[in-house]
Amino acid sequence: MTENANILVVDDEEVLQDILTTLVEREGWRALSASTGERGLEILAQEEIDLVLLDLMLPSMSGVEVLRQIRQRDPDQVVVIITAFSSIEGAIEAMREGAFHYIPKPFKNDEVLLTIRKGLERRWLTNENRSLRAELKQRYGFDNIIGKSKPMQRVFELVRLAAPAKSNILILGDSGTGKELVAKAIHHHSGRADGPFVTVNSGSMPSDLLESNLFGHVKGAFTGAVATKKGLFEMAAGGSIFFDEIGNIPLETQAKLLRVIQEKEFMRLGGVETIRADARIIAATNADLETMVAEGNFREDLYYRLNVITVALPSLAERPEDIPLLARHFLAAYAEENEKPVTEIAAEAMERLLDYRWPGNVRELENVIERAVVLSGGSVVDLALLPPAVREPRAHSGLPAAMPRNGLSLKEALAHYERQLIVHALRAESGVQKRAAKRLKVKATTLHEMMKRLKITAEMYGVA
């Protein structure tokens, strides 16, 4: 992992420069050297450097200043400070500026080599995680949304088509499916991308306070209104306003919101001036708005105004083939954030991730992976790092997991049922298709064709 590294030694003492360069080359790494900070920065601009050994006491430009410029150019560059005992305070300052570690003079060769190896591991872990995230995004992503499954590809296509339009959009989906991420994707791919994206937490405040936040108020409009204040609609001018959980808005506020949509204007509370509403409305909910309309809890006219274009997000249970992608995406992100050398998920742990029902959807999966990374002491997330609810296998009755709650056609429901049966058989036979076919009482060739048709991959039954 740490072979073929390029290491830059920046030290104005010729003897120390020679010692460090020789030490580096004996380990098979390529050594480059500079006697000044300016020359070191020139080399960094010309060469791909994996680690910098930087002396604090340099002529003309201090080591700390060199470090600052290095970090400005590449925040992930690994820099190890070499310092005399008298400049320990400078080393501490360098650590605050983002140095990886510092080594006091006189140093031991083994100590230098150990620090270099740790620094190189950090460098390559960062590069690997960045590369993984870029690959996932390029192949299966849309902004920060990950998915290669058919349901998610349909969502991506709908977002691509709907984003440039001016129509209001309603996003439907269970909690944790990523409704706000989709709303942001719509905004960033629209003609309003350079404008603000303002979020309204619809259900977290009483109606009078919600209206004040939405439309603003003038000085003296109510007790405590000591100054005129802009509302969220004004703040979202030229951009998008996102109503999170629109179903929670009180009926009296719904009526005022409807007028804003119809008239494209509003007034601040207590004011007489008409203000133009120049914000695209994106709303989201996990509630059944049609049922709420029928029960009189949501205005029918507002529902139809909001529901011009509908984006329905699938639950995680409806797209199991995305679980390995999402898990590895979160693994790379949280390993880098927590500076942990975690790069893999064990096959048995992945099997449990695929077997779990995920009532909290993508958000729950993200939390599980973050927890595993934080608690990990090595490079692999194994079964022991998963929470008990995920770690313990479900008691199987021989039947597949429950159907997704969202309505499916008979064809889709049968395919879901068939896929689950085949995945369970493959897991039971450790991925051996011939034995799984025998368990299912079909020919091996038939099973192979069924797996192809249903897009069942090795990742779905826990075989990497």
CB atoms within 10 A of CB 182: 26
Residue 140 in 3-state DSSP?
A: helix
Rounded mean pLDDT, 334-351: 90
Residue 121 in 3-state DSSP?
A: helix
The mean pLDDT of the chain is 87
Q: Which phi and psi angles does 154 have, rounded to 5°?
A: -65, -40
DSSP assignment of 9-26, as one string? EE-S-HHHHHHHHHHHHH
CA angle (141 as vertex; 137, 146 as ends), nearest 5: 110
Q: Which phi and psi angles does 81 have, rounded to 5°?
A: -90, 135
Burial class (CB in 10 A: 0-12, 13-18, 19+), 59: exposed
Structural domains of the chain, ranges and CATH numbers in brackets: 6-136 (3.40.50.2300), 144-312 (3.40.50.300), 316-391 (1.10.8.60), 410-461 (1.10.10)
* pLDDT at residue number 179: 94
> CA–CA separation, 431 vs 425, rounded Å?
8
Name, in order, each residue with C-beta under 8 angstroms of 217's C-beta and a sequence gap of 6 or more: 225, 228, 229, 231, 268, 269, 270, 271
Rounded mean pLDDT, 208-217: 86
49-81 per-position pLDDT tens digit: 999 999 988 988 888 999 999 999 898 899 999
* pLDDT at residue number 454: 87
* pLDDT at residue number 324: 92
* pLDDT at residue number 401: 46
Structure tokens at 407: 């309505």
Smallest CA-to-CA distance from 70 within 49, 90, 91, 84 is with: 49
User: To which residue do tokens 């150990």 refer?
Assistant: 114
More confident residue, 457 or 394: 457
Residue 332 in 3-state DSSP?
A: helix
292-307 per-position pLDDT tens digit: 999 999 999 999 999 9
Smallest CA-to-CA distance from 56 within 106, 100, 103, 113 is with: 103
> CA–CA separation, 220 vs 390, rounded Å?
55
Could you tell me which residues are beta bridge partners of residue 310?
170
Instruction: Quickly state the pLDDT bin for 44 (edges 50, 70, 90).
Output: very high
241-258 per-position pLDDT tens digit: 999 999 999 898 999 999
User: To which residue do tokens 């005992």 refer?
Assistant: 85
Rounded mean pLDDT, 376-388: 93
Instruction: Quickly state the pLDDT bin for 10 (edges 50, 70, 90).
Output: very high
CB atoms within 10 A of CB 252: 12
Instruction: Quickly state the pLDDT bin for 187 (edges 50, 70, 90).
Output: very high
Could you tell me which residues are beta bridge partners of residue 55?
82
pTM exceeds cut of 0.75: no
> What is the Cβ-side half-sphere exposure of residue 171, based on CA atoms within 13 angstroms?
30
Say if residue 272's pLDDT is above 90: no
156-177 per-position pLDDT tens digit: 999 999 999 999 999 999 999 9
DSSP assignment of 333-376, as one string? HHHHHTT----EE-HHHHHHHHHS--TTHHHHHHHHHHHHHHH-
- Check whether the bond before 151 is cis (ω within 30° of 0): no
Counting residues of the chain whose pLDDT is more than 70, the rounded percentage is 91
> CA–CA separation, 182 vs 75, rounded Å?
29
Residue 331 in 3-state DSSP?
A: helix
Structure tokens at 231: 């509302």
CB contact at 8 A, 102 and 72: no
Residue type at 217 in one-letter notation = H
